[in-house]
Amino acid sequence: MQAVIMTSHGPVLSKVLSRASDNTHGLSSEEMKVPKYELIIYWSAEDEALIAEVPELPGCMADGQTYEEVVARVQVVIDEWIATAKELGRPIPEPKGRLIYA
């Protein structure tokens, strides 16, 4: 899977993800704590996959064939988004919880 983090300045990271659950990308155990960002998960007929988007982290999304797979993959992308923002000295939004009410 190709993961790209988009910012207002264009893509800042592009990596091929293999086994999402085994990949820590050099982050400490403190950084690997699961942030409580809202996930929006939906089926994309065009991609023939589930898509998970993280609205509070612009461009942060992943795909997968099952809910478990897409959540594991988006967690890796969240971790990479946060690590990249730290490296670039950019602010990291605090999780706000539920943003959209159905």
Domains of the chain: 2-19+34-87 (3.30.160.250)
Q: Are 63 and 17 in contact, with CB atoms under 8 Å apart?
A: no
Q: What is d(CA 65, CA 96) in angstroms, rounded to the nearest whole number? A: 27
Give the single-character DSSP code of 66: S
Q: Which residue has the higher pLDDT, 44 or 11?
A: 44
What's the rounded mean pLDDT across residues 26-34? 54
* pTM for the full predicted model: 0.65
Q: Which residue has the higher pLDDT, 6 or 19?
A: 6
- At residue 97 the predicted structure's pLDDT band, cuts being 50, 70 and 90, is confident
What's the rounded mean pLDDT across residues 71-78? 95
Q: State yes or no: pLDDT of 20 exceeds 50.
A: no
Sheet holding 49-53, edge to edge: 40-44, 49-53, 61-64
Q: What is the dihedral of CA 63, 98, 92, 83, to 10 degrees?
A: -30
- At residue 33 the predicted structure's pLDDT band, cuts being 50, 70 and 90, is low
